[in-house]
Amino acid sequence: MKVLVVGGGGREHAILWALSKSPKVSQLYCAPGNGGIAALAECVPIKATDVAAMVSWAKENAMDFVVVAPDDPLALGMVDALEEAGIPAFGPRANAAIVESSKIFSKELMAKYHIPTAKYQSFTDLDEALAYIRREGAPIVVKADGLALGKGVVVAQTVAEAEEAARSMMADGKFGAAGSRVVIEECMTGPEVTVLCFTDGEHLSPMPPSRDHKRAYDGDKGPNTGGMGAISPAPGYTPEIARRCMEEIFRPTIDALRAEGRPFRGVLYFGLMLTPDGPKVVEYNARFGDPECQAVLSLLESDLMEIFLACRNGTLDQLDVRWTDGAACCLVLASGGYPGKYETGLPITGLEEAGRTAVVFHAGTKRGEDGQILTSGGRVLGVTATADTLEAAIQKAYESAGAISFPDMHFRTDIGRTV
Ligand code: AMP
Ligand code: GLY
């Protein structure tokens, strides 16, 4: 099969790496791809959000299957457009991807179907939002309704901080239209776990639990990022908690979306908090997490292409999805200054040496004229190691990453060691 993966980050590199092991796949393409992906797939210079260009290219080049990995093309209806053009695609249609693109939609869905989550109210009027914040007190959480690159959430420790967040989203237009409506919710406590589930709209198959580290600096300090590293399995996610999540959260969510006429096919991302009152939903995403995907897919034993086909065709129940018993750690090497301003075009060395003990997924890289790999984004590489135990996987990822360097390289030294 000729398969196109849409996107160009570490997550897409990991998906392509797993697909490249499938006997079903004959040729891989990626749009737009990156410097490392180019070693596995032919990169096509089309922006991930250009739905019309992507569909025409896939049609003209006779793709047998397209995997839409990032959130924005899913929200824009790329899967709908591909399927309508007769090209089988993996990922939810826009009417199901809304679980990520509208937090208000998700909160209403959870309320209607009694799925445990933080108590909330949604607002379009700033004064009403401010009054609610003052009434509820701090700590309190303020969230922009729409997609805001993972940065539209403020966990406010004081009423003043929450007021400021609501003002900047609703009055100053910090996130444009995405922030004109906000959700204000109760602040929950407890360890966070991500569970990615494959689903065909009816059946579901949870992947091993994972945990990402969103803050830029050690000790979970500093600004939120796309994710500075991930481990899998996440400690603390016991079989008993897994059973409760399946009964109280995963199955009810899949059933609710189907009942609403929005069957979800693809990967549904459950961001969970294990609170003293039991597991609750922090957020849904409509796709694999990045960098959770890199850690989790390195534990997959089954053929990813077969899983994608089963999700698309409604036959996931006939498949036995197998995982190794081991553990994985993905350590992100970022540009100095990320998530703020950073330089690009800097040469990276040591990739080959690191690649002997770990898989180095590329995120923000490009190939220079002489073939040299250069930095081209905030998150540059995801050094991913597997081992029998989590501690050994973490150690191996750090050791392997030690071989790599580029000017101003920044990474956290405590991935997998904080909750
Ligand atoms: P989100 O983009 O909704 O996942 O939020 C980003 C991060 O903010 C989460 O990973 C949590 O660490 C934190 N967060 C979001 N909602 C809450 C909440 N209700 N209580 C406590 N922390 C939260
Ligand atoms: N790592 C979090 C996300 O992909 O949303």
**281 Cα: distance to centroid of ligand 1 (angstroms):** 9
Mean pLDDT in the chain?
96
Residue 151 has pLDDT above 70, yes or no: no
66: left (phi over 0), alpha (psi -120 to 50) or beta: beta
Residues above pLDDT 70, as percent of the chain? 97
Q: In what order do the strands lie in the sheet with 278-285?
A: 204-206, 192-200, 265-275, 278-285
- Average of per-residue pLDDT across 200-217: 97
Rounding to the nearest 10 degrees, give the CA dihedral for residues 97, 103, 109, 115: 110
* Band (180; pLDDT cuts 50, 70, 90): confident
Atom of ligand 2 nearest to the CA of 283: 5
Mean pLDDT of 94-106: 95
> Is residue 408 within 8 Å of 346, Cβ to Cβ?
yes
Instruction: Identify the residue with better confidence: 418 or 176.
Output: 418
**Greatest alpha-carbon span in the chain:** 61
Ligand 2 pocket member 145 (CB < 6 A): no
Weakest mean pLDDT among 165-179, 304-318, 362-376: 165-179
CB distance 48 to 6 below 8 Å: yes
Phi-psi region of 102 (alpha: psi -120 to 50; beta: other; left: phi over 0): beta
Tell me how far CA of residue 355 lies from CA of 14, 216, 233, 308, 326, in angstroms: 14, 25, 22, 27, 19
Nearest-ligand number for the alpha carbon of 154: 1
Among 162-176, 229-243, 267-281, 295-309, the least confident range: 162-176
Per-residue pLDDT at 290? 97
pLDDT, tens only, 377-409: 999 999 999 999 999 999 999 999 999 999 999
For the Cβ of 289 lying below 6 angstroms from any atom of ligand 2, the answer is yes
| Cα 67 to Cα 33: distance, rounded to the nearest angstrom | 13
Name the pLDDT band for 330 (thresholds 50, 70, 90).
very high
Q: CA-to-CA distance for 98 and 263, rounded, in angstroms?
A: 11
DSSP string for 393-410: HHHHHHHHHTT-B-TT-B
Q: Which atom of ligand 2 is nearest to the CA of 285?
A: 5
**Using one digit for the tens of pLDDT, what is the confidence trace for 209-265?**
999 999 999 999 998 898 999 999 999 999 999 999 999 999 999 999 999 999 999
Report the share of the chain in percent with pLDDT over 90: 92
Q: Identify residue 318 by its one-letter amino acid code.
A: Q
Listed in sequence order, the residues at least 6 apart from 231 whose beta carbon sits closer than 8 Å to its beta carbon are 210, 211, 295, 327, 328, 329, 330, 390, 393, 394, 415, 416
> What are 251's strand-pairing partners?
none
pLDDT in tens, 11-20: 999 999 999 9
356 phi/psi in degrees, rounded to 5? -75, -25
Residue nearest to atom 1 of ligand 1 (CA): 283
- Rounded-to-integer distance, Cα 234 and Cα 229, Å: 12
For residue 5, the one-letter residue type is V
Which one of the ligands is nearest to 332 CA? 2
**Selected residue with higher pLDDT from 265 and 173:** 265
Q: Which of 24-33, 144-153, 215-224 has the highest mean pLDDT?
A: 24-33
Read off the pLDDT of each residue in 64-90 and give the average, rounded to a whole number. Answer: 98
Residue 35 has pLDDT above 90, yes or no: yes
**Within a 13 Å sphere around the CA of 287, how many CA atoms are in the beta-carbon half?**
26
Burial label, 400 (beta-carbon count in 10 A; 0-12, 13-18, 19+): buried
Please give the radius of gyration of the chain, using alpha carbons only, rounded to the nearest integer: 21
∠ at Cα 240 (236, 242), nearest 5°? 75
Q: What is the pLDDT of residue 419?
A: 74
Whether ligand 1 lies within 6 angstroms of the CB of 118 is answered as: yes
Nearest CA to ligand 2 atom 3: 289
pLDDT in tens, 56-74: 999 999 999 999 999 999 9
Residue of minimum CA distance from atom 12 in ligand 1: 192
Question: Model-level pTM?
Answer: 0.95
Task: Answer whether residue 418 shows pLDDT above 90.
Answer: no
Three-state DSSP at 9 gives coil
Q: Where do the DSSP E strands lie in 137-200?
A: 140-144, 153-156, 182-186, 192-200
The confidence band for 172, taking pLDDT boundaries of 50, 70 and 90, is confident
What is the rounded CA–CA span in Å between residue 203 and residue 109?
Answer: 19
Q: 68: which 2 tokens?
A: 């839409």
Token code pair at residue 411: 């990474």
